[in-house]
Amino acid sequence: MAIPTFTRKATGLVRAFSAFDTLLLNLYAVNAAIVIAFANMVMPVMYPGVHYGIGLIVALAVTIVSGVMYAQLSAAMPRSGGDYVYLSHTLSPAIGFMASGALVIGMFYWIGLVSSFVVQSIGTTAVSLGLSSGNSGLVSWGAQATQPMNLFILSIITIVLAMIFITLGTRFLKVLFKIMLVLAIIGTCTTLAVFSLTSHAAFVANFNAQMQPYTNLADTFTAIIAAAKEKGIAVVPTSVNVSLMALPFIQIQCLSLGFQFSVYMGGEVKTPSKSQPIGILGSLAVHTALIYLGYVAFENLVSKEFVISLASMGGFQGLPFGTLYYLTYTYTSMATNNVIAIALIGIGFLVWQVMCLITGYMTGTRILFSWSFNRVVPESIAKVSNKFHSPWVATLIMGIGGMIFVYITALTPFASYVLNYVIIFVIFFFIGGFAAIVFPWKKKDLFEASPSMVKKRVAGIPLMSILGVVYVFTASVYIIPLAIYLISKVIRKNQGIDIDMLWKEIPPE
């Protein structure tokens, strides 16, 4: 008797996600809140003279190519597993497993990292509420929440809760997506309103008043800028060249990670030929608008000079802040003393992190499920709950992997030397571009049987292949310089030279 190729005749997963659900899934995964928090403080320092709008427009054009390519692949092969399915069908099952295996490891890191973001967002909100109300105990509690052991314990609890939510299945998640959307919109709109409606002068006055008990200075704002100038730190004029140089950062850190995650849930999306393009390109449009508005509003409120001064120095003596990257949200307490507004902003920030954790987590479970359904790994991993139609074994495995990475990132220095999940994703999606190039030729019958959006041609050449070539070329432009830099960094480290320290000093003439 022949053994069936697949684990069973049906996956057990349900096509429950609509186009709107798909859009929300991707929007949560790409996570505008963390991009606003991170990019606002980091990008002006990494790329002095950058114009965020210029860089964002060019990076968006490249990302749209990737988005259309993934929408076509998902419509042609609407199965859970995403790139694992695409690469296995076009290049080889070994390459598909290798590349998706790297992504699973990256998702372990994602779960560990974003669960810590959840905890840090709670701590940041506590600090903001404490500063605005003059409650030093709340400020202290917020700072303590992000200490290594507390961060580790609270992150583990967060992962367990996410595991429970995902196990409850797609119908529960659809409701959760919509409830969280309301909270995210309220928090995001409140953030933009507070940043936009508060004058710079009011911010400075409030900032100085709140910092005085901690720094013992009457004008902490001016003191920070003066200290930076003494170190040679200054604002440089905006440059188109620098804005283009910032493209790898904007493309990878601000746009590319998450907006296409719905393809990994391909077997659970209704009418994928319509839902996937809406979910992928729609989330990209909304996300881009949010992060640009957040960046402009924040810079007008705080001033580029202050951001560059504080971020370049890595902080200032006496400031009661925790993680530097979250200062974008800590600043809400200096923009308004309205504790209700601060609480709404904090809740919105927390919701973005929770949903980013859940959607990234789901991506990993579907890859594990697909491996098991194809009998590459033990069949038990493809077990699906009869009640909730969720792959509960795969969910458990991803949760355990995430907990291990929480320990690594929170309590050991290992991650700072070895791991960079961004590199994993860049290389993975670079390989994924080859699937689009090859598919129309190697899987001609499947290509011709695909929806019309997949079969579009330009000058007789499949659009999918053209997009794949453009994407692979663009990705290689980023990967090659990145590889050179990382190799150089390791070599210099072995020679006793930390080249990251060079950027803390002004180069000699």
Q: Is the dihedral of CA 418, 424, 430, 434 positive or negative?
A: positive
Q: What is the 3-state secondary structure (H, E, C) of 271-310?
A: CHHHHHHHHHHHHHHHHHHHHHHHHHHHHHHHCHHHHHHH
Nearest to 75 by CA among 405, 485, 417, 453: 453
Predicted pLDDT at 184: 94
pLDDT tens sequence across 261-310: 999 999 999 999 999 999 999 999 999 999 999 888 988 898 888 888 88
Question: CA-CA distance, 200 to 204, in Å (whole number)?
Answer: 6
pLDDT > 60? residue 501: no
The encoded tokens of residue 289 equal: 């608008």
* pLDDT at 505 (0 to 100): 45
Q: Is the pLDDT of residue 338 over 60?
A: yes
Confidence of residue 182 (pLDDT cuts 50, 70, 90): very high
The per-residue pLDDT for 18 is 95
Helix %, strand %, coil % for the chain, to 5? 75, 0, 20
Contact assessment for residue 71 and residue 281, using Cβ atoms and an 8 Å cutoff: yes
Mean pLDDT of 29-53: 84
- How open is the CA angle 63-252-454, to the nearest 5 degrees? 30
The stretch 447-475 carries a mean pLDDT of 88
Kindly state the average pLDDT of the residues 453-462: 91
Q: What percent of the chain has pLDDT over 70?
A: 88
Enclosing H/E stretch for 370? helix 339-373
Residue 81, token pair as written in the block: 């597993």
pLDDT for 7 equals: 57
pLDDT at 372: 92
Torsion of CA 404, 405, 406, 411, to 10 degrees: 90
Query: Which pLDDT score is estimated for 479?
Result: 61
* Separation between Cα atoms, residue 183 and residue 178, nearest integer Å: 9
Distance CA 363, CA 103 (A): 9
Count of C-beta atoms within a 10 Å radius of residue 427: 18
- pLDDT band at residue 465 using 50, 70 and 90 as cut-offs: very high
pLDDT digits (tens, 9 = 90+) for 42-72: 788 778 888 888 888 888 888 899 999 999 9
347 CB neighbour count, 10 Å cutoff: 18
pLDDT tier at 481, thresholds 50, 70, 90: low
Provide the token pair at 56.
């964002």
CB 348, CB 194: distance < 8 Å: no
Give me the pLDDT at residue 507, please: 40
Query: What does the angle CA 158 – CA 190 – CA 255 come to, to the nearest 5 degrees?
Result: 65
Tokens of 316: 């200032």
**Exposure b/e, 293-312, CB count within 10 A at least 16 = b:** bbbebbbebbbbbbbbbbbb
- What pLDDT is stored for residue 68 in this prediction? 93
Whether pLDDT at 222 is above 80: yes
Dihedral angle of Cα 157, 254, 469, 99, to the nearest 10 degrees? -20
One-letter identity of residue 79:
R
Average pLDDT for residues 403-409, to the nearest whole number? 90
Mean pLDDT of the chain: 85
The residue that leads in pLDDT, 20 or 499, is 20
Question: How far is it, in rounded angstroms, from Cα 265 to Cα 46?
Answer: 35
Structure confidence at residue 332 as a pLDDT band (50, 70, 90): confident
What's the distance, CA 431 to chain centroid?
A: 20
Per-domain boundaries in the chain:
21-74+106-420
CB 109 within 8 A of CB 419: yes
pLDDT value, residue 506: 42
CB < 8 Å & 24+ apart, contacts of 149-156: 149/410, 149/411, 150/119, 151/116, 151/119, 151/120, 151/410, 152/406, 152/407, 152/410, 152/411, 154/119, 154/122, 155/112, 155/115, 155/116, 155/118, 155/119, 155/406, 155/410, 156/115, 156/403, 156/406
Please give the pLDDT value at position 272: 92
Percent of the chain beyond pLDDT 90?
45
**pLDDT average, residue stretch 141-168:** 93
pLDDT tens for 351-369 read 999 999 999 999 999 999 9
* Distance between CA atoms of residues 362 and 104, nearest Å: 11
For residue 368, what pLDDT is reported?
A: 95
Model confidence over 113-136: pLDDT tens digits? 899 989 988 988 888 888 888 888
Q: Report the DSSP beta bridge partners of residue 269.
A: 17
More confident residue, 173 or 408: 173
pLDDT score recorded for residue 419: 53
The residues near 111 (Cβ < 8 Å, ≥ 6 apart) are 159, 162, 357, 360, 361, 364, 398, 399, 401, 402, 405, 406
Structure tokens belonging to residue 445 = 């019958």
Q: pLDDT band at residue 418, thresholds of 50, 70 and 90?
A: low
What pLDDT shows up at residue 422? 65
Q: Which of 150-159, 221-230, 323-332, 388-397 shows the lowest per-residue confidence on average (mean pLDDT)?
A: 323-332
Of residues 23 and 473, the one with the higher pLDDT is 23
